[in-house]
Amino acid sequence: MTVVPLGVPRRLIEFTLDGQEARVPEGSTILDACRAAGKDVPTLCQGDTLTPKNACRVCVVEVEGARTLVPACSRRAEAGMEVRTDTERARHSRKVVLELLASSVDLSTTPGAAEWIKEYEAKPDRFGPDAARVNEEPKVDNDLYVRDYDKCILCYKCVDACGDQWQNTFAISVAGRGFDARIAVEHDAPLTDSACVYCGNCIEVCPTGALSFKSEFDMRAAGTWDESAQTETTTVCAYCGVGCNLTLHVQDNEIVKVTSPHDNPVTHGNLCIKGRFGYQHVQNRD
Amino acid sequence: MDLHFGDSKPTDEERAAVDALLGPPQSSWEGADRSDADLRWARGGREARERRDLLLPGLHALNDRIGWISEGALDYLCRRLTVPPAEAYGVATFYAMFSVRPRPATVLHVCTDLACAAAGAADLCAGVEARLGAGSGVAVERSPCLGLCERAPAALAIRAGDPARTAVSAPATVESAVAAGGAPGSADDEPPAVMAVPQAGDPSLVLLSRVGVVDPADLDDYRAHGGYTALRRAFAIGPAAVIREVTDAGLVGRGGAAFPTGRKWQATASQPDHPHYLVCNADESEPGTFKDRVLMEGDPYALVEAMTVAAYAVGAHQGYLYLRGEYPRALRRMEHAIGQARARGLLGDDVLGQGYAFDIEIRRGAGAYICGEETALFNSIEGYRGEPRSKPPFPVEKGLFGKPTVENNVETLVNVLPVLTMGAPAYAAIGTAGSTGPKLYCVSGSVDRPGVYELPFGATLGELLERAGVRERLRAVLLGGAAGGFVRPDELDIPLTFEGTREAGTTLGSGVVMAFDDTVPLPRLLLRIAEFFRDESCGQCVPCRVGTVRQEEALHRIAERTGAAAADDIALLREVGRAMRDASICGLGQTAWNAVESAIDRLGAYE
């Protein structure tokens, strides 16, 4: 049985969300309130297991009295606040943010991106054919996972997952500044020369597919990656006594990717190299 | 934290540079040779990690001595401070003055920003680059505003060594800039700071009264000219009364945001969490701004005294002066002044024998405009990338090292001295009801007498420009710097107050007043402003990181176009600009489109 920590009872905050009364526990973000009320606010840099950096700005909403828009993922609800999530002003910023991202990086493997671009009528092409792009080649420097920074939106999630929010390995950081900023290990070295422990927890949180299993990367390149043909089976990792949950993604009777349920109270979606990548023996048929 | 280091080793010189800052390593855990004792004891941990704020000084130490930061040097510094090398690499690559690739020991920064561009920086740069090509031993870098606008065009040479040497060439010719780059140690001395104050000697001056009058190196001279009377009064009336005086005086921040200083102090002083910190923001990087430099070079003790008063009021015992990396003379003057004040008991454990402890530490920036943003500055001091934090929480609650912090601009702090010596009512009588006190303006560009001017709030733009000797054929005036806005030559009756400029739909910002005549094509200036924001965006949030690039691209496309040919791109600029203003994390992105917008709307730049 899973023990759910109840914690200290929290006061309820009352505020107005799109004209409706909303009540959320103290400490909740505007995004929590939106989701509780069944509203769809797009998010990229927000993740269920991390404190967001609120860098992508796609979740901005309008708060009465605030000079600028505020990120729903990070701003905590305050009593009496008047929040509007779907104003022309908020939609405009979301549209432009989507255009800016789609015109500079490859969002083809970002879940939700295509739908949002359609919903907000974003036209990334209008910056012209010469609009600067990130233009990165995939970094394939180890057998386990690939870093394709042409798809990176700099959400900081991998850095946070590798650093003090989860893994405490600190193998990667944002290097450089402005449009030239990139996720990198020290001296931009290959991963094999870095502090990386190949836990793959960065892949788990990557919202765009910039970080992916080598198996997924190769299958996509070969055109054989087919999520509709995959099954997902959650099981328990057999390597040690912690008992982490693994979700095996299987296509054509081969494990092609391993994730972990984010709501698992022990691991919160995190694994180690063995659970994440040590599955080859299962399908070794020789 | 399980740190992983590469195989690169520091050279003896790199090791010496770091050890000069941190002292010799105590054990192999800190990078010394391994001894038997090291196998029994693990050192480091929290104690070492708490020194993370020495990362930026450590990077400076390496860059000053060697001129660039090698893999081995960075690894050694990381070992000394228990910092993950990837993070240190991220910090080192954040700052424009550092290089992680080999480069010549001498770097010549040639300013290509607005005032210098109008004064012929393009030719200067081309000439210097032609003379100092590969093999000359000097790397030429095009630089954003060096804060020497009254002597445009400007160049700054920095030669790594022990000690590092610097030379300023301004106004620079190809000849003088090349000479400064060739031998920074032997270049001509800079003219004294008072040369930047055309009003010097005017008895009505308040903030600039001592510049050029006192010897900036002499504490006694400062005291003979009214120095330390404000601090004595502060001790006499107590911290709460100091805050009341500052509040009653109506003093508001002079860095650009115009936040009431008394309210900020009160909010910090009343925080139960301790310690409290005082931070002086001297990272003056807004293009066209140089008032803080002139104050620090001409009257450094005033800032030391003002910081002491502020710290006393808010209950801080440690102050940080975050000083722009491109201000070598201000750094020397402030270092000297702080040392003298410490030696004479005006800083330290027992200030003026009052039993109050306060000291000031100088931290140098390393070429990042964004670090002038208050929370980015905290991150920079703490040894992280200078990226702004999201607010709330505000600095008065969680600032430097997560503790309640007051951060004030140099000019704001220096204003505290007359507030105390004159008394709040007399101070509040200067200026207008909404904007009290004297204000410094940095006037440059197409004027005969550029420099820092002090006028009471309420003087009009025309009066100020007249004093500075504005030249014929004025085309536009930029108020507030790159983050500010342009006004037309027929709008010179705008009163220079916070409320007056707001009413006129523009901003006073940090007090930049830059005049342009019609010899400089406006689209070129706008493009330079857009380049500035693209270069200086920290890259954290999407609207600013990509928006500033798209803005520059669009301005590039319409540089030679007008009317209908530019209309599509102007519409695009408006849409991107609106999103940057609405959705960026900090003031940099929020204001990156201001000047361009004002040029389109007020000046009809592309009509």
CATH of the domain at B533: 1.20.1440.230
**Residue A80 CB burial class (10 angstroms; 0-12, 13-18, ≥19):** exposed
Q: How many CB atoms lie within 10 A of CB A19?
A: 8
What torsion, rounded to 10 degrees, do the Cα atoms B407, B411, B416, B418 define? 180
Q: Count CB pairs under 8 A between chains A and B.
A: 167
Shared domain check, B341 and B384: yes
Please tell me the distance from the alpha carbon of residue B244 to that of residue B258, in angstroms, as a whole number: 18
- Using pLDDT thresholds of 50, 70 and 90, give the confidence band for residue A3: low
Domains and CATH numbers, chain A: 1-131 (3.10.20.740), 145-283 (2.20.25.90)
Give pLDDT tens digits for B488-500. Answer: 999 999 999 999 9
Q: Check residue A150 and give its pLDDT.
A: 97
Q: Which whole number is the average pLDDT over A21-31? A: 95
Q: Which whole number is the average pLDDT over B93-99? A: 97
Chain-centroid distance, C-alpha A31: 15
Interface check B559 vs A, CB under 8 A = no
Residue B1 included in any domain: no
Supply the ipTM of this predicted assembly. Answer: 0.95
Shared domain check, B346 and B319: yes
The structure tokens listed for B418 are 């007359």
Please tell me the distance from the alpha carbon of residue B335 to that of residue B282, in angstroms, as a whole number: 14
Q: Which whole number is the average pLDDT over B316-324? A: 98
The answer, yes or no, to whether residue B564 has pLDDT greater than 90, is yes
Residue A271 · residue A244 · CB < 8 Å: yes
Q: Check residue A8 and give its pLDDT.
A: 74
Residues 212-231 of A with CB under 8 A from B: none
Please tell me the distance from the alpha carbon of residue B73 to that of residue A264, in angstroms, as a whole number: 42
Shared domain check, B364 and B497: no
Q: How much of chain A is helix, strand and coil, in % rounded to 5?
A: 30, 20, 55
Residue B297 · residue B425 · CB < 8 Å: no
**Cβ contact B540–A97 (<8 Å):** no
Give pLDDT tens digits for A103-116. Answer: 999 999 999 999 99
Give pLDDT tens digits for B122-173. Answer: 999 999 999 998 889 999 999 999 999 999 999 999 999 999 999 999 999 9
Contacts of residue A132 in chain B, CB cutoff 8 Å?
549, 553
Residue B447 included in any domain: yes
* Residue type at B235 in one-letter notation: F
Give pLDDT tens digits for A81-134. Answer: 999 999 999 999 999 999 999 999 999 999 999 999 999 999 999 999 999 999
Residue B206 included in any domain: no
Residue B2 included in any domain: no
Shared domain check, B403 and B255: yes
Shared domain check, B449 and B587: no
Residues 45-74 of B with CB under 8 A from A: 71, 74
Of A93, A177, A189, the CB nearest to B539: A177
Give pLDDT tens digits for A216-242. Answer: 999 999 999 999 999 999 999 999 999
**Cβ contact A55–B581 (<8 Å):** no
A61 to chain B: nearest residue by CA?
B583
Q: Which whole number is the average pLDDT over B36-43? A: 79
The answer, yes or no, to whether residue B322 has pLDDT greater than 80, is yes
Shared domain check, B391 and B445: no
Residue B197 included in any domain: no
The answer, yes or no, to whether residue B551 has pLDDT greater than 60, is yes
Please tell me the distance from the alpha carbon of residue B209 to that of residue B194, in angstroms, as a whole number: 10
Please tell me the distance from the alpha carbon of residue A192 to that of residue B150, in angstroms, as a whole number: 52
Please tell me the distance from the alpha carbon of residue B125 to that of residue A1, in angstroms, as a whole number: 72
Residue B246 · residue B428 · CB < 8 Å: no
Q: Check residue B70 and give its pLDDT.
A: 97
- Boundary-marking domain end, from B500, B517, B534: B517
**Cβ contact B84–A154 (<8 Å):** no
B542 to chain A: nearest residue by CA?
A56
Estimate the crossing angle of helix B300-314 against helix B328-343, to 10 degrees: 60
Give me the CATH number covering residue B353.
Answer: 3.40.50.11540
**Cβ contact B578–A93 (<8 Å):** yes
The structure tokens listed for B424 are 């709040």
The answer, yes or no, to whether residue A18 has pLDDT greater than 70, is yes
The answer, yes or no, to whether residue B487 has pLDDT greater than 60, is yes
Q: Considering all CA atoms of chain A, what is the largest pairwise distance in Å, rounded to the nearest integer?
A: 68
Give me the CATH number covering residue B490.
Answer: 3.10.20.600
Residue B387 · residue B341 · CB < 8 Å: no
The answer, yes or no, to whether residue A77 has pLDDT greater than 80, is yes
A78 to chain B: nearest residue by CA?
B392
- Boundary-marking domain end, from B172, B191, B210: B191
Q: Check residue B42 and give its pLDDT.
A: 74
**Cβ contact A130–B572 (<8 Å):** no
Interface check A81 vs B, CB under 8 A = no
Shared domain check, B526 and B513: no
Residue B390 included in any domain: yes
Give pLDDT tens digits for A158-173. Answer: 999 999 999 999 999 9
Interface check B540 vs A, CB under 8 A = yes
Q: Which whole number is the average pLDDT over B316-331? A: 97
Give pLDDT tens digits for B287-319. Answer: 999 999 999 999 999 999 999 999 999 999 999
- Using pLDDT thresholds of 50, 70 and 90, give the confidence band for residue A10: confident
Strands B512-517 and B474-479: antiparallel
Buried b (16+ CB within 10 A) or exposed e, B488-515: ebebbebbbbbebbeebebbbbbbbbbb
Helix (H) or strand (E) run with residue A20 in it: strand A20-25
Residue B581 included in any domain: yes
Q: Check residue A4 and give its pLDDT.
A: 67
**Percentage with pLDDT > 90 across chain A:** 93
Shared domain check, B422 and B360: yes
Shared domain check, B305 and B247: yes
Residue B433 included in any domain: no
Question: Is the whole-model pTM more than 0.80?
Answer: yes
Please tell me the distance from the alpha carbon of residue B190 to that of residue B180, in angstroms, as a whole number: 11
The answer, yes or no, to whether residue A1 has pLDDT greater than 60, is no
Residue B184 · residue B166 · CB < 8 Å: yes
> Is B202 or B38 the better-scoring residue by pLDDT?
B202
- Using pLDDT thresholds of 50, 70 and 90, give the confidence band for residue B10: very high
Q: How many domains are contained in chain B?
A: 5
Q: Check residue B112 and give its pLDDT.
A: 96
The answer, yes or no, to whether residue B57 has pLDDT greater than 90, is yes
Shared domain check, B230 and B345: yes
Sign of the CA dihedral with B294 first, then B299, B304, and B305 last = negative
Shared domain check, B165 and B179: yes
Q: Check residue A2 and give its pLDDT.
A: 59
Residues 385-404 of B with CB under 8 A from A: 385, 390
- Boundary-marking domain end, from B59, B92, B125: B92
Residue B461 · residue B439 · CB < 8 Å: no
Shared domain check, B529 and B494: no
Interface check B493 vs A, CB under 8 A = no
- Tell me which residue range forms the domain holding B591: 522-601
What residue ranges in A136-175 does DSSP mark as E strands?
145-147, 173-175
